[in-house]
Structures are given as structure tokens and as C-alpha cells.
Amino acid sequence: MLELVMHPFDSKRAYILTTEKRHWKTDDRGKSWQEFKTGALASIFRDALAFHAGDPDRIIFNGMDCTGIFCDELTVYTTDGFKKTAKGLRQDTMGCHWAKSSEQFTTGQEDLDKDRILCVVKGRFSPWRKDYRLLVSDNYFSNNDGDIQEFEPALENGHAVKGIVNMATVTKYLVTAASGEKTDEMALYVSDDAIKWHRAMMPKSPKIPEKAYTILESTNYSIQINVQTDSPSRPMGVFLSSNSNGTYFVRNEEFMNMNKWGLVDFEKISGIQGVFLVNIVKNAVEYEAKPVHKEIITQISFDDGRTFSDIKCNNCDGKKLHLHSVTDLSNSGRVFSSPAPGLVMGIGNTGDTLQDYSKGSLFISDDAGATWIKGPEGPHKYEFGDQGSILVAVKDEYTEEFQYSLNHGKDWSKAPLPHKLRPVQLTTTPDSSSLKFILEAIDNEEPSVNGYIIELDFDGMHEAKCDPDKDLETWNARVDEDGKAICIMGHKQSFRRRKPDADCFIKKEFEAPVVKSEPCECTDADFECDFNFVRSDDRKDCVTSLAWHAPDDVCKNNAEGTFKGSSGWRLIPGNQCKRTSDAQKDDLVERKCSESDNPHTPSSGKITSTQQTLTGGRLYSKIYLQRQGPSKEEDETILVQTDKGIELSRNHGKSWTSILKDEKIQRIYPHPHFSDVVFFLTKTEKVFYSIDRGDNIRSFKAPFPPTDEENTPVMSFHSEDKDWIIWTGKKGCDESDGCHTIASISEDRGDSWRTLQRYVRRCEFVKEEQRLYLTPEEDLGRKEAKKKLKKLIYCERREKEQNNPANNPWVLVSSRDFFNEESEVHFTNVVDFATMSEFIVVATKNVAGQTLQVNASVDGQHFAPAHFPHGVDVDHQVGYTVLDSSTHSVFLHVTMNNNKGLEYGTIIKSNSNGTSYVQSLPGVDRDGIGYVDFEKTFGLEGVAMVNVVANYQSKTYEKDGKKLKTMITHNDGGEWNYILPPPQDAEKKDFSCKIDVKNLEKCSLNIHGYTERKDKSHTYSSSSAIGLMLATGNVGQYLDKGSDTFMTNDGGISWMSVKKGKYMWEYGDKGSIVVIVNEEAPTKVVHYTLDEGKTWEDYEFSEKEVMIDDMTTVPSDNARNFLLWSSDGGKVVTFNLDFTGLTSEQCKEDKDPEKSDYYLWSPQHPNQNDNCLFGHVSEYRRKKPERKCFNGVVDQELSNIKSNCSCTRRDFECDFNYERQGDGSCALVNGLAKPDHSLICKVEPDREEYFEPTAYRRIPITTCQGGAEMDKGSVALPCPGKEDQFNKKHGPSAAGIFFAITIPIVVAVGVGYWVWRQYGAKFGQIRLGEQSSFDSDAAYIKYPVLVVAGIAAVAQALPLLASSLWRSASNALGRGSGRRYTTRDSFARGGEYAVVDEDEGELLGDESDDEVV
């Protein structure tokens, strides 16, 4: 049995889920059970069953298919209560829900309430969390000839949103959260009808960093959430409540206590409106700044969180009472209350703060928490029975008795237990109406304890059943000092309950108490401050320093007009007070449009520029801390380090301020995976840092000063856990052996450290995937196993702990527990290693043979040697440069000539596991440092450009030197061609050479490549400007020193000459703006195009000509601000270019292509008549050049795979030991044997068959189907040991099936560091460039609280290049104790709340190449 699940909307139904595809159900409270089939295994990643609140027969089953390498999630459904086998709903789901998942929710349409389903689904072309989508279907995602009937709802500004983390139904609301790349900030979206969605607006002052949301017990009139604001190691939050439609939130309480799993100390008093208990951190400011003991106090609210007060204890000598809450559970069910009217219990202590649980005692309240009394001494398990008539408590230690009270806890009696036992769980019926209790306990027998299930039955204590007239009383939820009923939340609330001294029991099982409500007239107490307003100092008014927010479109065409705006007050959501005819505090007042925070100011149609002079004269580095997807703010942060210090700009360089003025900062270290985080290093152990893009700067002490070893990074970061840092420092510099490096790790952002390894060269986190057949079966899907994968670290260290290299080689070791236990040694004589998106590549040297060997791993555990093709002889290898692995294979440049000034090599390409290589292109240029003229086109599949040494085979090569020509591939290195030049230059003149379209050898476009760039972060293309590229070069037979500027808007097929001379460029607004500026001579003009290069305009940014050193914008190229960098009078000068004035209209997408501001563009191969590339036709969304609008946050990535194509020759490349012939065919190299294809059976243990070699192998990224399957021979052969399965498969009744499993990888940095050989001391050196939620194994996972905590995706290639790779090229600076909780299962009280167990650690595998070799 995997799980027992109760139906939340039909108490007669329950389900037993198994580890198979057969399960069991009952609809008569367990009297009989029936088998049902789902066709899939139950998901281990999330709740398997999702129920429809209006029809108990409608159930969604979230399952998984584990027949491949991975367990892929899918969803099935039933509309008949599993009377028949469930039907398929959709593949690639990450959890599906009925829209009507709560009784309160409705779409307003009967048919949608019945059928609408929402699913979180993987991206169309990516498995990474950053691309998760929210999809909706009203007809079960029916498939119509491959077209799935589904749509993405417009969550923000009329557009869909990517990066969906989770979704849930909370009372009458649907909520979903989204996160972005390189940030842990999130956005919350709310709908009260599953049709229209709104982004939840949080208060602006003070700003709340939205790191994670815990959706608390909410009402049918308001969503109540806790927003995590600090690190997981010191978690705290802000408690907020929404207005009636869930869009605007106001803050209720700061510094809420929470734990690292997102659970918050918050609980409503059951059945009593507006009353709840919270725990807050008393010393929050100090606790936030440094690691001190957390001081927790308990407070109570009687007005839905608008005001809080201390808890009153009647027999506690006037001391304050504090109670253990949700983060420190001691029993199942709700923590404090039950449906018993007004009865509340808890474990706590009196004093200034909350003490340890073991020091607590039982406290009881019978007036909904208004006053408390102390009960039995010591911590207890406790429960309520017979609607509060009886209270039961068992001391939380080994005991021989239990206690009970029949008068609301005033007096307690004792009764014996059968043995001396320790309670594990005490429970009863969910509605606390029964006289029977179940005690689960253990004894202390040795060598192993025994478990007990004991029934405590009070049914025989009283024969009488309570008389409603004599034994029951009317209890008012709130009373004044005289005992008279008073109003709470606009009404008086009362219940009928048993008198404390009545000698009877109610004996009404499964009947809930009835509440009586009487409305009151509205008073000041019924109102609270509205959105973005706070109480004045005297608490009499609501004030704000912010602008008013105008309703949508009210001021759009009337900037000087007025609108009715908030008075600053609003009626507390859910308050039921009766309004009078008098003026009300929340009556709207007249506001000016010009004073709103969203005035419609028509665009000026002009570009503006702002010049600033920095304090320094030498510019060392500049770093963008770009805001990511979820952020609503428009400012952008830039950090600059000059010879005079650090300067910061919040507005794209329009103004600058100095920070850390008195500190000697040596280096700025941006976090490569979280763009809000940056570190400032000094020469000492003191490190400054900011987690909010420089708003607040704090510090920590590192264990050692930073290392200054060349190519040894000081800091290494985890891609998911922001606070996990590896620090490499130097020690022993005053000893005879000299300095040595020590790697230390912190899991709390520098608060504490422990040593990993000594005498290291480099340590780094490695992202390892859980793979179905390479991960032990018992570990698959388990949180602890995934934690081990998250902790995987690889280190290069000396074999002996000493600096002397004699007989002391570098070894590569790994650990999954931070080296707490013995590490695993993978290789000795290590040159270096690189981690990539899908591979770990390790270079080792054979000292005796003076050769190098490459080994690769796809899982971080199993390595295999790389086999190189004919002509790339191991004995002649003089170096490697790992170029790219973004298309399921490694591109490797092998140096063939290392003579100074004559360097070149061969590009080889691996198979999907990185071990078997074929030649892609010989004679590729490389410089003396190790960089290669190779660059992938960002955003486009399989497009890359190289410069080849055209005369490398010439006998006079050494005399003539390099003659370079540029080549391009459109099919991932399968074919390379020269580039067709434009017909004329920018001045409409013919080129000096004659263009022959059929033979470009004598006249082609040649461009300056990667090796010639001053700034390696500048690239031809941008991942946000799909299909656009700019380059400098010339038209001729070879590349020469003269340069003109060229542009393409179709992925490199056709080019246009833009300007005579050499210009630098930047893309803006996802390619709708392209700006260029002369980099060879002083200028005061930039040139820009708004129509993909067809026309160009000039803009004068300065009164005098200046020499431009660089031009930058945000790394994602989606801003409309640019920054020119220059110098004047020995000072650094910047010019901000602001293009936002050109238009204020954001582009809109429409189903009608004529109305839409976008068009779909498909890349193609220049030698094909169709648009099939890699087996499919792709479509990208691009802004129509003629439309005067801006893209903004709209995603402009791959929009759709329109269709798959039949396989052709271009979907295949030459197999291992085969080489391409002049006619394009592949032939076996003379003297070499055919590759042994049976080896694939070892790499893929589940494979049953393989094919004999045909000379061709399938390009890893192709999706073609059928057609010319050139990699398949006529006969399939069985894998060793799989003969029976093979024969069964190919028997008379079986159909032949061939699976091609590919793993999508995003675009990687198309440059690399390399391995080169020198005969001497430098032989073989490689130079290299770099929130959790619930614990699914924890027993309290079923507590009715939803955590929506996102994990920011891994860095994109472009920022990585700037912050990691080039950094090293420039010489880098180198609870434990057992818990007391028990399972909060389906039988625990609180089942009416939405439960979503979203395991944020599910997605394994990196999203980009963290670095290159």
C-alpha cells in the first residue's frame, strides 16, 4: 500500500493506492472494497488524487510512466468513480486539478463547473521549471489529429506566464504562483472564476520580497497568505490578507514565525469567525542580521488579523502565555481547536518567550482563546470529544495513565493504561463529536519496541443524554466585561453547547454545532486601511506616501482628469456589519489622474540621453543585476568597479551613487543563479553581500582569506539553494610549505562553515539527475535520495596533503554528503574537469605515454572514455576545447597544430552520452590562449558559425600564415557551407569579388570571430532576438583586417550590409530595437533600426565626439535602455540612451493574424525547399516590424512545433569511423572496423535491441518520424541477456517499436576553455572559466497549508559568460533531533482545506552549461 486517501466531499468513500496500476476503493465506509485500474502508477511527486467538489464520481489521477529512462508524469481521469478503467487526460503534467475543487468555488457557468480542468504542464520544448505552463481544458484535453484542445489563460497584461510553480483551489479562489530564471522572487495570480486572472498586488511600502508563499487557512471572502521574506536558514514572513476578489493584499503582521519547509505558526479557531493565533519572532531585526536564538511569542487576533494582543492566562500570575504551533507539531489534526464551540487547547509556557516543548504544559480556553487556564503539568497529546464535553490528555512521555476533564479543563481525572507506554498519536473523529478516542503508542521494550493501538471509550460514563433545555447553554463567541454579547466582524455569533457541569453527554456523532449570527451596525472597528495605506502614528487615520492607483483605463485619455479613488479605508473583508445611511469611512473620494501611480502619459516619440561622470578613471568591471520575470518593478541595477571604488545605478545608468566607500573591495562576485544576489570580496575574510540587488548590504566572515591561485574560483554556488556556498581560501602562507587552498562550505550564506577538502584546485556543486535505471530503485522519488543528489560535489585535490607535486598528482573526488564520509575517487593524474548541461567531462594525462584522455559521464556516477574518430589520433592530441553541449551532444575542438600563430584543430561531435565522436569540421581556427572561432546562434536549434583555416593543408602554410574563411551550419554540424554575401555594400556599391551563388569559395562573407573580441560577452546573436545576428567582416575570398558591419534577420541565410566600418551592437526589447555605434573612431551618433535592419535612423547622444569603449544593456536584451561607456579627462563617462519615449503601447497578441502585433517566423535550411529543420517545422513569435509597440515581458521564444517531418538525409550524420564523402554520403574509413552498436545496450540497460551500423547515425536533436530512417539496418539484434524480451517483441503478434530517447538541453555558451600540451612543466593544463518546500517524507506534510515556493532556474548563457567563464580567463581571485509529530493523514481534522504537496526539488538536471572546458 502506498497511501490511504479519504474522499473530501463524500465521507463514505476512501481509496487505497498501491505501488502498481491496480488500486482499491470503497463507497460504504470500508464495508466492501472494489479494485480499480488507472493504467499508470500513482505519482510519487505530488498528491495522486484530485477530487471534484460538485460530483464525487469525477476524480483526477496524477500518475507516472516509468517505462523509460525517467519516470515521466501523466494524468488520467474518471467521471464514473473508477467503475471503468481511467481515461488518459494529458502527458507531461506536473499536477492537474478540477476548477471546482472546493464547494465554494464556481466559474459562474454550469458547464465549466462540471468539466473545466487546470494543469501545470512542462514547456512545449523544455523540461525545465522555468518553462512550466498553466493549461486549461474544458473537454479533457481531447486530441484532434495531434491538436490538443487546450489554452493558456492570460495571467498578466493579456499574456500567458511561464515558470508556473504550482496551483491550488483555496475556498472560492484559484491561485497559482510563478517564478522566473535567476531569482527566487515570485508572482501570485488569483482568479475567482477560472476565467479572468489578476496578479496579486502586494503593498509597496515597505517593499515585500516575494520569496515564497504559504497560503494559510483562508475564508470565503479573503485569501490569507504568508510571504517568506528572508533566507530558508532564518525563515520569517509577512502575514497579509486580500480583498474580496483576491487581488489586493494588505499587511497584517510582520515577522511571522515559520520553518524552512514553509509551515507558518498560524491557526484559526475553528468555527469562530475572525479569531486566530500566531507566533511571531520578537527579536526579528537582530535574528535577521545574525545567527542568534530565535525568540518567539504568541499573539491572538479577534478581528481577522487587523489587531493583535497577548494571550491572557487567568491562573498564571499575570505572565504572558506562549504556545507551540504548526512549526512544532506534537499530534495529528489541528493544533489548538476543533469543531467543539469555543474549546481550545495548546502546549506552552508562561514568561517572556516560548521555551522548549519539553518545558511546556497543557493550557485550556473555553472562550475561543480570550482567556486561558493552566491544565496538567508537562507536555501532552490532547483531543476533544462529544463536541467539547470531554477533553482527553496523555502525557508526552512514558506513562501508565491518561487524564480527562468533563468541565472544560477546570478539573482532571486519571485513568490507567494497560502498559507503561509513550503516546505517538491521539485522535478521534474529524468533527470531535464521538466519545471514542484512538491512542497509538509504543512501549520501551528491548531490543525493539512494540506498537499499540488502544481504544479509549467514554460512552459508558453517563447514561443520560443531554436535555437541550436543561443541560445546554447559549455561548456567545465574544462578550464584554459584564458578560454581554458583543460584535465580532460585524455580527454577534453564538452556539448552543453543553454546560461545563452538566452530568450528561451530547451523543450526536457526525453532527456539527449550529452557529447563530446577528448583524451589527458598522462602526470604526469594522474598517481597516486599504491597499498601500498604513495607520497613522496616532492610529486614527490611514495614510500613504504613495501615489493613488487609478482604475484601468479611467485616465488613459484624460491625463488631467479625476477619478473616484480610495479614502484610505476599506471594510474588512468578510465583515457582515449593517451599513447606515450616514457617510461611511470607505466612501470613495475625488483623486487626480496626474497623481496616480498609473497615469497615462502619451509617449513623446523621442529618444533621450543622459550623460554621467563616475568617480574613477579606470573601469575594472561592470555587472548587471537584472530583474527577472516575476518582478513588477522597472528599475535595473548596475554595479561598476573602478579604481576609486564601487558605484551603483538603479535606473540604467542615468544616475550613480557610491557604496562601500570605506571598504577596499577587490572583486565583485555576482551569484550566477540568482541575479538579486551579489558578493563583494576583500583581501581578508570579510565578505560583503546583498540579496536584494544592493538595497541592503550585510557581511559575513569567511573561514580563510580568498585564494589568489590562478584559475581557482573563490566562490562556487548551488543552482537551487541560494545560501549554499563553496568558499576556496588560502591557509598556511607563513609556513615553509607555502600557501595551500582549502575548500569550505556554508549552507546558511556564511553564518557557519565547515571544511570540505584541503589542498584543492577547485570544488563545485554538480547537478545530477535521478535516472530510472542508474539510481537505486529504493531511492527513486524519495526526498532523502534527492537531497543526496543536490549535495553532489566534485573536487580536484592533491593526492597527498602537501604542495610538493612530486608523486602527488591531482585527483578527482566526489561526495554526496559534503564529504562527511569517505569520498569517492574517480580519476588520478587529472588535468581538469568541466560540468556541462548534460555531461561531466574530465581530462586526465598518461604521464608515461605523454598523452591526454577524455572521459565523460551523463549521470555523475558512471564515466566512459571518449573514442575519437579516425584522423584524430590520441598520440597527436595537443589540446581540447569543449565548445558546446546544447544539442544533446558535445562539440569538442581538438588542437592539431599548436605552433604559435598557426593554431588550428578539428571539431568533433559526440553521441548522446558524450563517449563516441565523429568529425564535424577540420581546420577550425584557434588562438594562442585557447579560444576557438566557434559560436552557436542563441535561440535557434543547430545554427553555428566558425572560421576555418582555409590553407592549413598548404605546403607553404607556415610561410603564408592563416587565411581564414567563415562557414555556417544549419543542421548542428552535419553540413558546413560558406556564407552567401549580400549583393551590394551599405553604399549600394558592388563588392570587389564576383559572387557566384553556386561556388562561394572565391567570394563569400567572412566575419571576425570569437578570438578577436575584446569583450568575450558580446555575441553575434541573442536568445531573445530570435533569428537576428550582427557581425563585422568583409566580402572576399578570405577574412581581412578591414571590416564592415553586416546583419541577418533570418538566422544567417541572407545578410545585408548595414554600415561601412566596424560597429559594436546591442539588442533591445527582444530584438525590436537594434542599436549600433562606431567602435573605430570618435563619434556622437548612434544608429538604430526598429524593423529588423531594413531601415536605420541616427540619434545624436552627445554635443561632442567621444570614443566609445563599450555598449551594454541588460543581459536578456529585453530593455529599452542602453548604456555607452567612454572616458573624458581621466574619468569614466556613461551615456544612457532611453528608447521608451518612442512608444507607450505594449504589443498585443490576437488569434486573428491581421489584428495581432506578432507574426510567426520559421527558420529553414538554405538548401531546402521546405521549413523542416531537425525533423520539424518550428515557429517563433516575432513583433511585426511595422507595428509601433513594444514587447515588454512577452516571451519571444519558440512558439510552436507546427509539425514533425519525415526523415531525410539531413536528419543523419556519419557514424563513428565513417567520414563524409564528396557527394554527401558516408563511407567507412579504410582500415577501420565498423563500430560495435551492441555497446548501447550497456549505456541503456533497459534497451532490448540494437541495429548493425549503416554508416549513419541520427542527429540527436531531430524529431523526424518515418521516411528515410538511415540509421536502421534491415535486421534488429537482441541486446545481451534480453533475448526473451526480443523474441517476444518480434513474435508474430508483436509490432516493432523503436524508441529514440532524447533529453532536451537549452542553449549553452558557445565558447570554451581548452587543454593544450607543452613539453615541460605545463603539460596538459586545462583552463576553465563556474526553496525548498515540504519534505515529502516528513509526517506533517498533510497539514492543510499550501506552500508555493519556487526554485529559480539556472543562469542563461550570456550572463554566465560574463560572470563565470571570462572571470576565470582573467585570473579569478582566484534538526537533527527526532520530531514529535505524527501523520496528518486524510482522517485528521482540517480536511476541508486544499492540500498540495508540491515537491520543489523534483526537477533535476541543469538548464545551461555552467562552464566550458
Q: What is the pLDDT of residues 1094-1138, one digit of tens each?
A: 999 999 999 999 999 999 999 888 899 999 999 988 899 999 999
Mean pLDDT comparison of 236-250, 837-851, 855-869, 1371-1385, highest-scoring range = 236-250
Q: What mean pLDDT is predicted for residues 500-522?
A: 86
- What pLDDT is recorded for position 1276? 82
**What is the DSSP-derived secondary structure letter of residue 1091?**
S
- The span from the CA of 60 to the CA of 1009, in Å, is 54
Bridge partners for 253 per DSSP = 239
- Between these two residues, 948 and 848, which has the higher pLDDT value? 948
- What pLDDT is recorded for position 1214? 80
* For residue 982, pLDDT beyond 90: yes
- The span from the CA of 842 to the CA of 845, in Å, is 10
Q: Enter the C-alpha cell of residue 765.
A: 556543486
DSSP string, 72-140: EEEEEEESSTTSSPPEEEEESEEEEEES--STT---S-HHHHHH-EEEEE--SS--SGGG-EEEEESST
- The span from the CA of 1251 to the CA of 1249, in Å, is 7
* For residue 10, pLDDT beyond 90: yes
Q: To which H or E segment does residue 715 belong?
A: strand 715-717
* For residue 680, pLDDT beyond 60: yes
Q: To which H or E segment does residue 855 belong?
A: strand 851-857
Q: What mean pLDDT is predicted for residues 268-297?
A: 88
The CA angle 623-629-632, to the nearest 5 degrees, is 95
Mean pLDDT comparison of 542-556, 808-822, 1334-1348, highest-scoring range = 808-822
- What pLDDT is recorded for position 219? 75
CA dihedral angle for residue 706, residue 707, residue 708, residue 712, rounded to 10 degrees: -120
- Between these two residues, 408 and 1338, which has the higher pLDDT value? 408
Q: Which of 463-467, 651-655, 883-887, 1393-1397 has the lowest mean pLDDT?
A: 1393-1397
- What pLDDT is recorded for position 1391? 30
Q: What mean pLDDT is predicted for residues 473-488?
A: 86
Length of the chain: 1413
CB 1242 within 8 A of CB 869: no
- What pLDDT is recorded for position 840? 79
CB 1200 within 8 A of CB 1214: no
Q: What are the pLDDT digits (tens) for 137-151?
A: 999 998 876 677 888
CB 344 within 8 A of CB 276: no
Under the banding of pLDDT at 50, 70 and 90, the label for residue 804 is: confident
- What pLDDT is recorded for position 222? 81
- The span from the CA of 522 to the CA of 1377, in Å, is 51
- Between these two residues, 872 and 665, which has the higher pLDDT value? 665
Q: To which H or E segment does residue 42 belong?
A: strand 41-42
- What pLDDT is recorded for position 68? 61
* For residue 1407, pLDDT beyond 70: no
Q: Enter the C-alpha cell of residue 197.
A: 486572472
Q: What mean pLDDT is predicted for residues 653-666?
A: 93
Q: Which of 29-43, 368-382, 1142-1156 has the lowest mean pLDDT?
A: 1142-1156
- The span from the CA of 946 to the CA of 921, in Å, is 9
pTM, 2 dp: 0.73
- The span from the CA of 304 to the CA of 268, in Å, is 9
Q: What mean pLDDT is predicted for residues 356-366?
A: 95
Q: What are the pLDDT digits (tens) for 819-854?
A: 988 888 998 888 888 777 667 788 888 766 567 778
Find where cell 504556545 sits.
323
Burial 207-246 (b: 16+ CB within 10 A, else e): ebbbbbbbbbbbbebbbbbbbbbbbbbbbbbbbbbbbbbb
CB 939 within 8 A of CB 903: no
- What pLDDT is recorded for position 207? 60
- The span from the CA of 24 to the CA of 34, in Å, is 5
CA distances from 509 to 435, 468, 495, 698, 1220 (A): 8, 16, 17, 58, 82
Q: Which of 580-589, 1002-1011, 1060-1069 has the lowest mean pLDDT?
A: 580-589
- List phi, psi (to 5°) of 960: -80, -25
- What pLDDT is recorded for position 1200? 60
- What pLDDT is recorded for position 1212? 84
- The span from the CA of 1312 to the CA of 832, in Å, is 13
49, 183, 6, 172: which is closest to 105 by C-alpha? 172
What's the one-letter identity of residue 1018?
H
